[in-house]
Amino acid sequence: MTIYICRKMTIEFVGFLQPRLLLVSLSHRLWMPGGWDHVQKRRARKEYIQNGRQRHNDADKAQLRQDGPRDGVRLQDGQVSLLKARDGSESAASPSRREKPSKIDPFRDVIDMKLEASCKAMAIYGFIRTLGYSGGYGLVRNYCRAAAAEAARVATMRFETAPGRQAQVDWKEDMTLRMRDGTPARFNVFLMVLGFSRAKYIEMTLDKTQPTLMRCMLDAIIYFGGSPAEVLFDNMKTVADRSQGEFGQGKVNSAFAAFAKDCLFEPMLCKAMHPYTKGKAEDLAKLMERLRPYDGEFSSLEELNSIVRRLLEGLNSEASQATGRKPSEALLAERPLLRMPDADAARRHHLDVPAMRKVSREALVTFEGCKYSVMPKMIGKTVELTARDGTLTISLGNEIVSTHRITGKRWNFDKQDYIAIMKSKAYRDVPDDQVERVAESNLRIYDQLGAM
C-alpha cells in the first residue's frame, strides 16, 4: 500500500512516527522528484572525501618510512598522529595555525593609551572610528576586557619611603551609625598616614569641604609634630582642578596650593583609577570598620567623636603588619625630619577668613552645604559667617546676629528664629502658645529630615 506523506505533517503524528524517522526521511526523499539521484550524490561525495583522506595518510606514511620519524610526529597503528605534550596540547614542533590579522591590530597602541586614561570601551570605539577603524564594537570591547584582566594579574610592588618624605591622605566616606535612640549619625573620617613610621591620624567630620580638609590637615600636622616633604592625595575636588591622567598632568587648585605652601609640604596627585599608589591610606580606610560594633552604643556626636579618638590611640599603639613596629615608637625617629609650620598663621590665612552670605527669603544662610537660620529682619542683607571650634557665628558688622553649632544637618533652625519666621507670615494672629507647639512639632520633623 502506497502512503503519501505530506511535508506539513501535523504534530499529532509525530509520536507515532518517531521510531520510523529514518524510514520516513528516506521515503520522503525517494518520493521527491530526483530523490534517488540526491541520495546517490550524497553517497558518492562521502566516499570521495574518505578516499581523499586515505590517500593523504598513505602518502604521509610512505614519507615517514623513507625519511624516518620527525619531531612531534609518530606512526601508530598505521595512522599519522601528532605527539601530545603532558598538558594535552600539541607538541611545540607541530605546525601551528597561522593567525589571521585583525582589524584592531593597527589601533592597539591607541587603545592602550586611552585605557591608561581610564576611557571606557564605547568611548574608545567611537574615537578610533574617526581614525579609520572599520571593525565592530565587539572587537574593541573584548580587547579592553582582556587588557583589564591582564592588568589585574600584574603584581603590585610595595615601596617604602624615607623618613619625613611622604604622607598619604584619604577619606572614609559616608559612614552611618545609629545612636541609642535610633537616630542615624552620618559622618566621614579624615585619614592621614606617614609613609615611613606608619603613624596615623584620623578625625571625624560631618562634611568633606575644603575648609574641613585644611582644618584636619593642620590638626594632623600638629599631632605628628610637623609636615613631611610631600603629601599624596587622591584626585579629590577640594584639592585638584584637574585629575592626574585626565588630559595630561593633574593640577592642584590655587587655594589649596597656597595652603600647602604655608604648611611646608608639596601636594602630589596619584594617578586616577590606580588606588594601589596610595595603598597605605587605603589600608587605613579598611580599619575604620572597627567602628561598626559601636552602632547603637553612643548618645551624641560628641560621644562618637570620643570613640574615634580612642580608636586613633589604639591604632598607633599596635604593631604595624608591614613594618613590625608600633607607629607611636617609629614616629619618634621620624619626627626630627618633619618640618613644623606656623600653624596659627596658616589658620588665620586660610580658615579664619569669614565668608559673606546673603540671607534668603526664608531667613536662612548656607554654610558648607547646610542652611542656618537668622531672624526674619535680616532677609536680603549680607552677613558674615565665621566658623571656629565647631560653632558658626553669623554677624552683621560688629553685631552678632545668631550662633549655631555646626552639625552637618541640612536644616538648622534656632527655635526663636523659627517662631519669629512663623509670626511674620501665616501665624501672625495665632496665640503664642499655639505657635510654640506648632514650631516644636515642625522642628522635630526638620531634625529627622536633616539627619537622613
pLDDT digits (tens, 9 = 90+) for 303-342: 999 999 999 999 999 998 888 899 999 999 999 999 999 9
Q: CA 258, CA 50: separation in Å to the nearest integer?
A: 84
- Check the CA dihedral 332-336-337-341 and report its sign: positive
Has residue 266 got a pLDDT over 90?
yes
Sorted by sequence, the CB contacts under 8 Å of residue 195 that are 6+ apart come out as: 160, 161, 165, 166, 167, 168, 228, 280
Q: What are the Cα distances from residue 209, in Å, to 199, 215, 234, 239?
A: 24, 10, 15, 10
Query: Average model confidence (pLDDT) for the chain?
Result: 79
pTM for the model stands at 0.58
What pLDDT is attached to residue 89? 46
Q: What are the Cα distances from residue 109, in Å, to 136, 147, 168, 402?
A: 18, 12, 33, 61
For residues 389-401, average pLDDT: 87
Helices (H), 68-117: 108-116
Of the pLDDT bands very low, low, confident and very high (cuts 50, 70, 90), residue 391 is: confident
Has residue 28 got a pLDDT over 80?
no
What pLDDT is attached to residue 387? 80
Q: Give the CATH number of domain 166-349; options: 3.30.70.3270, 3.40.720.10, 3.60.15.30, 3.30.420.10.
A: 3.30.420.10
Higher pLDDT, 153 or 379: 379
Q: CA 256, CA 254: separation in Å to the nearest integer?
A: 6
Of the pLDDT bands very low, low, confident and very high (cuts 50, 70, 90), residue 290 is: very high
- CA geometry: angle at 241 spanning 239 and 245, to 5°? 100
Q: From its phi and psi, is residue 98 left (phi > 0), alpha (psi between -120 and 50) or beta?
A: beta
What pLDDT is attached to residue 411? 83
Flag the least confident range among 25-29, 170-174, 319-323: 25-29
Task: Report the C-alpha dihedral over residues 43, 49, 53, 55, rounded to 10 degrees.
Answer: 80
Q: CA 48, CA 26: separation in Å to the nearest integer?
A: 22
For residues 53-81, average pLDDT: 52
